[in-house]
Structure 1
Amino acid sequence: MEKNVLITGATSGIGKATAIRLSKEGFNLILCGRRTQRLESLKNQLSSFTEIYTLNFDVRNQADIKNAIKSLPEKFQHIDVLINNAGNAHGLDLIQEGNTDDWDAMLDINVKGLLYMSKAILPEMVSRGNGHVINIGSTAGKEVYPKGNVYCASKHAVDAINQGMRMDLNGTGVKVGAINPGLVETEFSDVRFKGDQEKANKVYQGYKALQAEDIADIIWFVISRPYHVNIADLMVMCTAQASSTLVDKN
């Protein structure tokens, strides 16, 4: 049976790697993102493997999300798997020196964006009595590190929402789980350090970080389990990482 998977933040990093992995497993994909050119490029790349539909919107805009979901053609209207992947980190500052625009961006995308997407998709899953939500969290949702303040708070919120969502949906037939990666070598640090490539590169020097493809493999594993199996909360780090502040770079 064909399954439709919707991925937010599909234009780079974990989202893009997941789209590539799942396309080769035969899942039909709804790829969502803000960067139209990247979406179209990815669609062209993957269309030979499976059916692709793209939606261009910002998860911070609830009205745009509703309109985008309503615009889906009939074939894509029932969504079997929602992957709440869109997220960001802006800045790495002491709380007293933090930029409130950065705070707004992290809370609006990481927390409210995840909620808006879930609100748009869940009612149809519940009415159908079937579905699967995967929330992409972070090890930053399990512990706090210096200067991580608001980013860590946003990912702690994802952890709480994931647990609450699983409780509220118990008995509906909808599975809910989270994948919480540690250090993954993507554009994440480019965004966090606002284009300072030297700072971004230093994050991943001296050890082998997780790659986006590693998380994509895990996502495929999670969604390919039998119906009675739910990976509720999975944390994954590279071998060199023991915690947010302890990384072997020798």
Structure 2
Amino acid sequence: MPDNIILITGATSGFGKAIAEKFAAAGWNCIITGRRNDRLQELAAHLTTTYSIKVLPLCFDVQQRDAVLQHLGNLPQQWQQVDVLVNNAGLALGRDTFDTASLDDWDTMIDTNVKGLLYVSKAIVPLMIQRKKGHIINIGSTAAKEVYPAGNVYCATKSAVDAISKAQRIDLLPYSIKVTAIHPGAADTDFSVVRFKGDENKAGNVYEGYEPLHAADIADTAFFCASLPAHVCINDLVMTCTAQANSLFFHKNG
């Protein structure tokens, strides 16, 4: 069994859970993080039992800087050789125009999508620098590439992920640390349920008339990027379903 270690934030659902499953199936040991301890422990037990790998579940919120640094700054010695970090934790809240949007929603998106990514990266990068080896995969969005109506701050946070990825790639170049930004388009996860705050009807309507991406598609892509030779790095990758051209244009049946 390989000794490779992957750390995935937001691993209890959606892209994060699918990425954990994909890498675990290939024999990677997993550090998984999330806010919901029951789901975290359930996933850890599943991965351990199904794939005979080692799993370290860490329950904390990436918004909380002290909690991030406490957990990731004090990893047990056997877990410190993190080969791949997937900054996946993120969310959209609300689909409101700028003038009607909630400040609380804005704060939560900024604190999770931007600050959380920075806190986690800041904790793990020193471990990669010591080894002069590592791969950071930041999960962005097509929202980083085009701003769409009522997307305002969510689009801004994903644009920040895009910019931070470019900055990491430059600053960490002397240490042979790869940085990949994966920008998925519409994907059928609990993303829309969270965005619409539990309104299943609104969330379901988002994907009517076409087949969106699935979490496994993003997991397959992340695994491909992480499996390339040491001298190859995919810097920036935008992926959509066939029915989507970008953040604004879709072809829907009916």
Whether the TM-score (by the shorter chain) exceeds 0.5 is yes
Superimposed CA distance per residue, residues 76-98 of structure 1 (whole angstroms, 9 cap, x where no aligned partner):
12211110000000000010001
Quick one: which of 184, 187, 190 aligns to 2:190?
187
Superimposed CA distance per residue, residues 87-137 of structure 1 (whole angstroms, 9 cap, x where no aligned partner):
000000010001000000000000000000000000111121111100000
Letter in 2 for 1:55: L
Quick one: which of 211, 224, 234 aligns to 1:221?
224
Which residue of structure 2 aligns with residue 40 of structure 1? 41
The answer on whether the counterparts of 2:80 and 2:127 sit within 8 Å (CA) in structure 1 is no
Quick one: which of 84, 98, 103 aligns to 1:100?
103
121-130 or 103-112, larger mean C-alpha shift: 121-130
Q: Secondary structure at the match of 2:174?
A: coil
Q: Secondary structure at the match of 1:219?
A: helix
Superimposed CA distance per residue, residues 155-210 of structure 1 (whole angstroms, 9 cap, x where no aligned partner):
00000000011011112111111000000100000000000100000001111000
Aligned pairs for 1:2-81 within 5 A: 2-48=3-49, 49=51, 50-81=53-84
Q: Does 1:142 align with 2:145?
A: yes
Query: Hey, what's the Cα distance between the residues in 2 that align with 1:70 and 1:108?
Result: 19
Which residue of structure 1 aligns with residue 178 of structure 2? 175
Query: Hey, what's the Cα distance between the residues in 1 that align with 2:164 and 2:74?
Result: 27
Number of aligned positions between the proteins = 250
Instruction: In structure 2, list runs of 5 or more residues that go unmatched.
Output: none
Q: What's the TM-score once normalised by structure 2's chain length?
A: 0.97
Query: Hey, what's the Cα distance between the residues in 1 that align with 2:173 and 2:162?
Result: 17
The answer on whether the counterparts of 2:8 and 2:88 sit within 8 Å (CA) in structure 1 is yes
Query: Hey, what's the Cα distance between the residues in 2 that align with 1:14 and 1:124?
Result: 25
Quick one: which of 111, 118, 121 aligns to 1:118?
121
Q: Which runs of 4+ in 1 moved over 4 A?
A: none
Query: Hey, what's the Cα distance between the residues in 1 that align with 2:143 and 2:136?
Result: 20
| Aligned residues: CA RMSD | 0.8
Query: Hey, what's the Cα distance between the residues in 2 that align with 1:18 and 1:195?
Result: 24
Which residue of structure 2 aligns with residue 207 of structure 1? 210
Residues 156 and 65 of structure 1: is their aligned pair in 2 closer, same or farther, counting only changes over 3 Å? same
Which residue of structure 2 aligns with residue 248 of structure 1? 251
Letter in 2 for 1:35: R
Instruction: In structure 1, list runs of 5 or more residues that go unmatched.
Output: none
Letter in 2 for 1:16: K
Which residue of structure 2 aligns with residue 84 of structure 1? 87
Q: Does 1:109 align with 2:95?
A: no
Quick one: which of 220, 223, 232 aligns to 2:235?
232
Letter in 2 for 1:18: I
The answer on whether the counterparts of 2:135 and 2:178 sit within 8 Å (CA) in structure 1 is yes
